Amino acid sequence: MIIQKILKNALRENINSLRPAKVDKRDKAAIVFELGEREPSGDSIVERFRREGLQTYHKTLPATDISVDAISGIYDQIQKDNFSIDAVIVVGSVGQEQSFLDIDVDELFSEWQQTCLSCFYIGQAAVTRMQPNKRGTVIFTSVADVLDPGIGRASIGSQGAGVRMLSQSLAREFGPHGIHVSHVVMGNDDASSNNQGGIYWNLYQQNRTAWTQELIMNNQRRLAEAHG
Amino acid sequence: MNKPIALIVGVGDRKGIGAAISAKAASEGMHVVMVGRTQQKLKLVSDEIKAAGGASSVVIADCTKQSNVKEIFTQVSNLNADLRLVVYNTGRNMPAPFLEHSTRIIEDHWKRCVKGGTLVGQGSVRTMLNNNADNGHRGTIIYTGASASLRGKPLFSGFSAAKAGIRAIAQSMSKEFSPQGINVANVIVDGVVDGGLVKSVGSLGHYLIKSKGKDGALLPDEVAKAYWMIHSEYPHTVISELDVRPFKEVF
């Protein structure tokens, strides 16, 4: 059963790769999704993409309405406006610092729905719409210590690690079909000290012969602190 | 004094990692509490342990349910001995293309790996903090991971996101509880396990094992030795993570 699934998938991918990309004459749109209920952190990205001429939407996902329909609805509206969705960016994080023993699994589940599960839905809706064009960029974002979470960062780190693996799976599955999937690690919680808009714009602009899958953003102050 | 307890969560077929670790811990003098979902399979393992002169008990539970996990730790505490080793060995690797990952599939992966792992981890830490530090060591908690804990590949987005999620939690636990003498570690099992699970998928499973050639699949009893090393080397060497794979596995 498993092997059959893998073979079927390989066959379908080969057929898809033979199809020429659709000629899409619509103007391009970017969506910046904000996860969680913190202060929006994607303003500089929105501003940069707008300045560069893309129709850019800034959407905050409420904590309580995480569903395929809610997320698909956002994409559908943009397509009704006759734009082609070419960049999808996800920023923001959910979760709190606490001792491992204080984690409530129901809260952990809700945080996971707001971050990781949302990213599955956002990714599925994105690649479904980008596949015919054989192009498009999806950029996910995780917080600082996703690579090795410190004390009290179990829940935050766990959500980020999930999103990171999702981004890798997508990159490996859809990269060969022209969709660029990238993952940015915020080396510091305060993005304002970084040129975030410029970094994301650069990733979007990358030629497919030299795509970045992962980029770790840091700033000098934090590195100085870390190295004492 | 009662034998120290090893709690092994996720025990099924004797030819699987959970059962192999159970047999190993029993042979090293621990009372093994085995948690699984199939009474019949657990009985075979406990019979073998008994025949070899070891001690074990069996709990049928679903670790994605908080009440079930509570029951496991009640049974552990009824044994009136120190819980010294916990292995969380669950998770099911069912490949599916990304666009065919339904909410149920994504959530099930998360619940099996992250929710269950967190609940069992919390119960274990709370119990172990009551232990006397034996040469600085209160206990060992080991999570079974996979290569998917470290990298995401096509067809494995849900499994990989969940495995990486619990690995991150274990990394944070390790830093938080190491000062109290609790070692939390991840074992990255990379390759096909020559065990009951893969053979349960029929001729295809047998084919998969065969295609790996001689010594190309992981033998559970050999894998169990790596887990035991993590537990027994502490505190001289603190192992936070190790991987195990057959010599010819490409990685």
Quote ipTM for the complex. Answer: 0.80
Q: Within an 8 Å CB–CB cutoff, is residue B88 touching chain A?
A: no
pLDDT digits (tens, 9 = 90+) for A74-89: 999 999 999 999 999 9
Which domain does B183 fall in, by range? 5-241
Instruction: Assess contact for B90 and B81: CB atoms under 8 A.
Output: no
Residue B214, pLDDT above cutoff 90: no
In contact, A29 and A85? CB cutoff 8 Å:
yes
pLDDT at A19: 76
Is B218 in contact with B246 (CB distance < 8 Å)? Answer: yes
**Per the structure block, which two tokens stand in for B212?**
């790996």
- Give the one of B153, B154, B168 whose C-beta lies nearest to A161's C-beta: B168
Chain A nearest-CA distance from B163, in A, is 8
In a domain, B250, yes or no: no
Residue in A6, A128, A162 closest to B162 by CB: A162
As a whole number, mean pLDDT of residues A8-37 equals: 83
Average pLDDT of chain A is: 88
Contacts of A173 in chain B (CB under 8 A): 97-98, 154-155, 157
Contact B167 A161 (CB under 8 A): yes
What confidence score (pLDDT) does residue A1 get? 58
Residue B16, pLDDT > 90, answer yes
Residue B220 maps to a domain: yes
Measured CA to CA, the distance from residue B108 to residue B92 in angstroms comes to: 9
Determine which of B172, B188, B197, B241 to mutate to test the interface with A (most A C-beta atoms within 10 Å): B172
List, in sequence order, every residue forming a beta bridge with A215; answer none if it has no partner.
Answer: A184
CATH-assigned architecture of domain A26-226? 3-Layer(aba) Sandwich (3.40)
Reply yes or no on whether the pLDDT at A163 is more than 90.
yes
Contacts of B177 (CB under 8 A, 6+ apart): A100, B125, B184
- By the CB < 8 Å criterion, does B129 face chain A? no
* Contact assignment for A100 to B169 by CB distance below 8 Å: yes
Average pLDDT, chain B: 93
**In the predicted structure, residue B251 carries a pLDDT above the cut 60:** yes
Across the interface, whether the CB atoms of A165 and B151 are under 8 A apart is answered: yes
Q: How far is A225 from chain B (nearest CA, A)?
A: 19
Backbone φ, ψ for residue A134 (5° rounding): 55, 35
**Residue A227 confidence (pLDDT) above 60:** no
Asked if the structure places residue B35 within a domain, the reply is: yes
- pLDDT confidence tier of residue A10, bands split at 50, 70 and 90: confident
> How many contacts does A have with B, using Cβ atoms within 8 A?
149
Q: What's the average model confidence in pLDDT over A181-190?
A: 81
Q: What is the pLDDT of residue B215?
A: 86
| pLDDT band of A40, cuts 50, 70, 90 | confident
Q: Flag whether pLDDT at B61 surpasses 90.
A: yes
Q: What is the pLDDT of residue B10?
A: 97
- For residues B124 and B131, the answer to whether their CB atoms sit within 8 Å is no
Phi, psi of A209 (to 5 degrees): -80, -10
Give the residue from A96, A168, A214 with the most B CB atoms within 10 Å of its CB, the best one to mutate. Answer: A168
CA-to-CA dists, residue B8 to A138, A163, B37, angstroms: 40, 29, 12
In the block, residue with structure tokens 């998928």:
B201
Check pLDDT > 60 for residue A191.
Answer: no
List chain A domain ranges: 26-226
pLDDT at A188: 62
Find residue A3's DSSP bridge partners. none
Query: Which residue from B minimizes the CA distance to A99?
Result: B176
Beta bridge partners of A31: A57, A88
- A55 — pLDDT class (breaks 50, 70, 90): very high
Q: Report whether pLDDT(B127) > 80.
A: yes
Residues of B in Cβ contact (< 8 Å) with A158: 114, 165-166, 168-169
Note whether A158 contacts B204, CB cutoff 8 Å: no
CATH number assigned to the domain comprising residue B200: 3.40.50.720
Query: What's residue A2's pLDDT?
Result: 61
Identify the helix (H) or strand (E) that includes residue B242.
strand B241-244
The H or E element containing residue B186 is: strand B182-189
Residue B92 pLDDT more than 90? no
What pLDDT score does B80 carry?
A: 95
**pLDDT grade for B236, boundaries at 50, 70 and 90:** confident
- Restricting to B residues 2-61, those with a Cβ less than 8 Å away from any Cβ of A are none
Q: Three-state secondary structure along chain A?
A: CHHHHHHHHHHHHHHHHHCCCCCCCCEEEEEEEECCCCCCCCHHHHHHHHHCCCEEEEEECCCCCCCHHHHHHHHHHHHHCCEEEEEEEEECCCCCCCCHHHCCHHHHHHHHHHHHHHHHHHHHHHHHHHHHHCCCEEEEEECHHHHCCCCCCHHHHHHHHHHHHHHHHHHHHHHHHCCEEEEEEECCCCHHHCCHHHHHHHHHHCCCCCCCCEEEECCHHHHHHHCC
Q: Looking at chain B from residue 185 to 214, which residues have their Cβ under 8 Å from any Cβ of chain A?
A: 201-202, 204, 207-208
**Residue B145, CB half-sphere, CA atoms under 13 Å: how many?**
32
Instruction: Examine residue B37 and state whether it is found in any structural domain, yes or no.
Output: yes
Per residue in A107-148, pLDDT tens? 999 999 999 999 999 999 999 999 999 999 999 999 877 888
Q: What is the pLDDT of residue A29?
A: 97
Mean pLDDT (whole number) for A48-68: 91
CA distance B184 to B175: 8
Residue B211 has what pLDDT? 85
Nearest to B120 by CA among B157, B170, B57: B170
The one-letter code for the residue type at B39 is Q
* pLDDT exceeds cutoff 70 at A219: no
Q: In sequence order, what are the residues at sequence separation of 6 or more whose Cβ sits closer than 8 angstroms to the Cβ of residue B61?
A: B35, B36, B37, B68, B69, B71, B72
- CA–CA distance, A16 with A1 (Å, rounded to integer): 22
Which of A2, A123, A171 lies nearest to residue B95, judging by beta carbons? A2
Q: With bands split at pLDDT 50, 70 and 90, how would you rate the model's confidence at A225?
A: low
B156 within some domain: yes
Of A5-14, A21-30, A100-109, the range with the highest mean pLDDT is: A100-109
**How far A18 CA sits from the closest chain B CA (Å)?**
19
Interface membership of B92 toward A (CB under 8 Å): no
When divided into structural domains, chain B yields a total of 1
Q: Is B155 in Cβ contact with A9 (below 8 Å)?
A: yes
